[in-house]
Structure 1
């Protein structure tokens, strides 16, 4: 995993990662570079024409060339070069804009797809605020890097080269020597100080992401904060992050002031020496006034952009650091990936598919086993229920069937095919789940139901809602199916969210159905209605029901009793009662209304250790 600082192997490694995205439009890139060279040649030509224009003014009064020919031609040339500089620059921006924006779009989409391809382990350990900030800064950095490097640094270096060549070929060696020494000193000083300052910028980035992550996490858990009256506690945690960021920002600013002061001293000394040499040349007759104007114009054209070199170099380094963060997300190991020869799952009918677990061993962390030698079969079209104390590994079975994780030993098969030989997309399209903890998108009720099948018609959405007994409730709302459910669906009650989850699963219409405490948030009356509907639906599907209330699965074709990651008992409801074992004791306690026995030793750590 990349280091927290986002280092992936240096700046050149980051640039090499970026180049293929830009080079995909090589014709536009080459044309833009030609326009850039044309703009700089025109820019260098402006002082040269100005020199000849000034020299023309020294002709004797009344000379025809001084009145019409030379000044008129040079003025036209001067104006044409000025216009050419602007035209070439704007054309370059226009031509390269598509390259930059398409590269940003391609990279952002690739990172987005990769994040969705990562395993559940990554998403349980990530901080949403930090990741979104990394993506935002990284994509913005691509555009900034191209702008600063290709359109600021490279043109400046090209102009420096052209100026030095002109000075060497037309004037005393002292002019080019002073210019060269000043430039080397300026660039060396700028790069050295900026490299030193980069660590402050990296620290600011880390602290900024941390503060934003805390803020977003706190706002997402708004109700929990209110429950415990911890507003001030959350504000203090956020302010601690802001204070650390403030201190880092102050260190960065003080170092920037030192950088700017040093740059100004170098530029001032160089310009003074250049003008001193030019003045001497005019006084001894070796140079004309036009030469003095030319040298002065060259210095202005060089040192004005160089004055921003520190800022540009710093921004380039910052952009590279931000891009490192972005590309480091692409370096995250997918952990669960399709095999090279993976094939789509063939769904021949909606009558269900056989599920088979054979000698499955699984752990989130090597130090603690979660499932040990689990073997069972769910025949096509039949219902198997899994019960057990909290933490016994029930929900882990559903995660493994969805292939959120890969098992360490054994095999899981669907229709006699190991799920590791199937494409993940086709596998998950054949399985529908109603989770215990339903999380909805911050969109409308219609959108959340239609998420089960995005191309569903309005009539199909309404039919699914009716089947989940939520249609009447939705109709009673002022905005009906266009009602916004809020962040993570918090505007709806737990029961309402669970009915939406049931509706979108019904709309998906999968051959395999997983019900993970599907009615845990419903009242008794609603639970009876939904249970009847789910049983009707399950008749035509292979169903894996994870349950806490045993009364809801009494008529299952097979019941598995989990304990400490193993199947302790199996059979029908009547067979398990007759055994007078673990299931029978659980049944008796629930029927008598007694609390469940504590079984802390059986906790699988599925919410803790899976992030390790």
Structure 2
């Protein structure tokens, strides 16, 4: 029978109460502290970050995205109710806890001296009291460490723990008084209910009572000081609030009484400003240098957004596989318990041969071999589990990677304008880290905790509670040392991870910008930049590896000390005949087996930490929210005629500088509207707003009388075709890029579109024709070829609205004229908006809008705007002068070449003569000139059609 049950069988009532009070006090205090600590972490996380889900904040597949943090006044009040104490006051609580620990040192000292003094009587205090002193000492040590490390501390967790400890110590003290004040047995070694009979207190028992009273006094002082300091803080806060109320100005707005201006919070509790409150949002894409200052619950909860992607909710077969894996996991735990027992049984049978019994345990050995075949990392059970888990891991990786890819595409233009491609690609590659995290928690962390719990129970009943105590202390010390050292290494590991990402981003950015590197002969600079980041990475990696070995040595010391204690205790019990040799072998086998999960805890903690750090980039990607989302319940846009209306539209990137300020215009169905103006006037912004890359701040944009915000932007965009200034193509075939606009288009439809864009014959001249690859971003094609392909695939899309964003600005004059013909065919019968720097390309537009500083300052046709003699006229005259200078320069160069070789006579008035006459200051008859208007009659200006 385990010694744990002896007091209940043979002891008096006081002896039973005292013994079990001593047995139960350490685990109760530990469990109360652990439960309160975990609960407070969860409550604090929810209190400081009250969750208010925003509409439409879901990821791909309807999975929830992280919710916003909006601390309310209630949470701020709760926050101030539990402040951190000053260093002096905190030191007082630390001193009191040190005194608490010293009381247990006093108990231990009394036990040792008493045992030595009464050696001839084989006196011993009993197992229960030893367990109480040792286990409670370590429990209070853990609480002391938490007071030192935690902020604020002490806190309600410690208060609850102190109250429970006080109650338990009072029970122990009362049971001690009841036992020692009457006739009782003075403890004898290995028999706490035996020994000499004594009436009343012995000197040793009086010392024990005095130490116990001292412990109770320390607990009472800790609770009293805590209550007193909290009361002083409450009075101070109440006085501060009254002072604030007394100083409220009569002009203070009732609505803005809580530190708000125009409805926007300007200050927050504890000095937090709006800028500080927004730090988490604005810094969401910055590589963190250190672990965020969060509780463990906040940190883990952030990763909960991945769980809907990891669980195969729609596959019943995969769910069954998961359940089978769980059963195999349980089978592995049972095998871990059976193998040490089987080894001990074989040793006992073999030992019996020394006593003349000839037992040949072939059956037991065969059973042991079978267990070994099934158990272990490479055993049948674990191998079956690994094979069955493969489709689960693939599902998780596929679901998470695809979801992240979809999420990045769902983000708005503002994110993609500010992103670093290398960083995004690095984050998208971290789906495997999340998957590894799930598998490690499921099949390594949980089994490790279960194994430790089984080991404690097994040692308690199969051996002795002393062994359970040793295993518990080793496990807690091992985990604590591992967590503390790993936390210290976390910043080092994070630096290595960040430098690894920086190395990857440097490679990506440099290779993507290959041509730029060559243009500026910057190869050596790039080599030096990459070499520098590699050197920094290796220096940080060296520190991480050294710290890893230091942690391994420390972990090994912790376990070796525990193993030494169990071996000495078992050897002593065997020497006095209390244990058999087989039990000693069982003990060593189980301890060696227990070392594996403990050793893995260090590895596991590092792996989990590494996986979580690596997956932070993907988590940050998921935290990024699209700024443009559909309103709830909006319908799809079914058809479009092409009438566009901007109604007093206002928009800004920065509130201090409006980008579009009250723009109002109408584009009739099938007409062409040109938008011109200086750089930064707001032309491209108007296009971005029409395509709904951004949400307007005021006003509305309507299509056929329907507000574009009242329909899904995906359906709205399907009616718009865009020909950008810089066409970016995929590194695929020409046919792939053309069909990208309409995947269902036939080859013949593609050919017709290319003929309309005047590119079909040119494509056929390529060696591979339509199968020719265009290269990275289409760099194998000329600018004109790319623009014609862009026009062709816009024709394939067959949109009702066309947006031309300076589609010919970067082309030479001859190519521009050819493409202009294709654009004329593209825009025929469609509503067209054009951004143009070359005004000659929009002279036939139905209306021209002149923008300046985000406002429409002039509008009308080409002739009407020239008649205004305003901004448009000045822009037109500058372009005419630039064109004249260019033509004169070309003519001068031609004259120089003609002076060096005979010039053939020509009866006709050729283009060369035109250049010569321009160079000499005369204009040919077919190039009409008109007096400049609005320039004091000086100079001349080409008519609009002269540049067509």
Shorter-chain TM-score above 0.5: yes
Report the Cα distance in structure 2 between the residues aligned to 1:480 and 1:63, rounded to whole angstroms.
95
Aligned to 1:13: 301
Report the Cα distance in structure 2 between the residues aligned to 1:127 and 1:34, rounded to whole angstroms.
45
SS of 1:216's partner is helix
Aligned to 2:410: 117
Aligned to 1:602: none
Match of 2:731 among 442, 455, 469: 442
Report the Cα distance in structure 2 between the residues aligned to 1:515 and 1:200, rounded to whole angstroms.
51
Q: CA deviation at 1:522?
A: 3.5
Superposed counterparts of 1:153-192, under 5 Å: 153-192=445-484
Match of 1:32 among 308, 311, 325: 325
Match of 2:684 among 392, 395, 414: 395
- Runs of 4+ residues over 4 Å off in structure 1: 5-9, 23-28, 60-65
Report the Cα distance in structure 1 between the residues aligned to 2:577 and 2:480, rounded to whole angstroms.
36
**Is 1:77 aligned to residue 367 of structure 2?**
yes
Aligned to 2:384: 91
Q: CA deviation at 1:62?
A: 12
**Is 1:342 aligned to residue 634 of structure 2?**
yes
**Is 1:315 aligned to residue 592 of structure 2?**
no
Superposed counterparts of 1:119-518, under 5 Å: 119-137=412-430, 139-347=431-639, 352-518=641-807
1:489/1:497 contact within 8 Å kept: yes
Q: CA deviation at 1:140?
A: 1.5
How many residue pairs match? The answer is 589
* Greater RCO, 1 or 2 (C-alpha within 8 Å, sep 6+): 1
2:303/2:619 contact within 8 Å kept: no
CA distances 1:341-384 after superposition (whole Å, capped 9, x unpaired): 22111225xxx411111111111111111111111111111111
1:8/1:14 contact within 8 Å kept: no
Q: CA deviation at 1:76?
A: 3.4
Unaligned runs of 5+ in 1: 597-612
SS of 2:676's partner is strand
Say if 1:389 and 1:58 are closer, same or farther in 2 by CA, change over 3 A.
same
1:8/1:324 contact within 8 Å kept: no
CA distances 1:248-304 after superposition (whole Å, capped 9, x unpaired): 222222221211111122222222333333334444433333222211211211113
> Bigger radius of gyration, 1 or 2?
2
Say if 1:279 and 1:478 are closer, same or farther in 2 by CA, change over 3 A.
farther
Unaligned runs of 5+ in 2: 1-280, 314-318, 887-948
Aligned to 1:535: 824
Q: CA deviation at 1:60?
A: 4.2
Q: Which moved more, 1:228-237 or 1:448-457?
A: 228-237
Say if 1:237 and 1:522 are closer, same or farther in 2 by CA, change over 3 A.
same
2:651/2:698 contact within 8 Å kept: yes
Q: CA deviation at 1:65?
A: 7.8
Aligned to 1:546: 835
Q: CA deviation at 1:226?
A: 2.0
Report the Cα distance in structure 1 between the residues aligned to 2:753 and 2:529, rounded to whole angstroms.
44
1:5/1:202 contact within 8 Å kept: no
Q: CA deviation at 1:488?
A: 1.8
Say if 1:533 and 1:17 are closer, same or farther in 2 by CA, change over 3 A.
closer
SS of 1:52's partner is helix
**Is 1:54 aligned to residue 347 of structure 2?**
yes
Report the Cα distance in structure 2 between the residues aligned to 1:457 and 1:80, rounded to whole angstroms.
65
Report the Cα distance in structure 2 between the residues aligned to 1:111 and 1:143, rounded to whole angstroms.
13
Report the Cα distance in structure 1 between the residues aligned to 2:750 and 2:476, rounded to whole angstroms.
69
Report the Cα distance in structure 2 between the residues aligned to 1:46 and 1:87, rounded to whole angstroms.
15
CA RMSD of the aligned region, Å?
Answer: 2.4
Aligned to 1:607: none
Report the Cα distance in structure 1 between the residues aligned to 2:841 and 2:308, rounded to whole angstroms.
57
Q: CA deviation at 1:467?
A: 2.2
Aligned to 2:268: none
Q: Which moved more, 1:365-374 or 1:522-531?
A: 522-531
CA distances 1:380-408 after superposition (whole Å, capped 9, x unpaired): 11111112222221111111111001111
1:576/1:583 contact within 8 Å kept: yes
Report the Cα distance in structure 1 between the residues aligned to 2:780 and 2:597, rounded to whole angstroms.
55
SS of 1:555's partner is coil
1:498/1:521 contact within 8 Å kept: no
Report the Cα distance in structure 2 between the residues aligned to 1:83 and 1:424, rounded to whole angstroms.
61
CA distances 1:529-561 after superposition (whole Å, capped 9, x unpaired): 321222122122111111111221121111112
Report the Cα distance in structure 2 between the residues aligned to 1:111 and 1:188, rounded to whole angstroms.
35
1:449/1:503 contact within 8 Å kept: yes
Report the Cα distance in structure 1 between the residues aligned to 2:320 and 2:732, rounded to whole angstroms.
42
TM-score, reference length from structure 1: 0.90
Q: CA deviation at 1:63?
A: 8.9
Q: CA deviation at 1:435?
A: 0.3
Q: CA deviation at 1:334?
A: 1.2
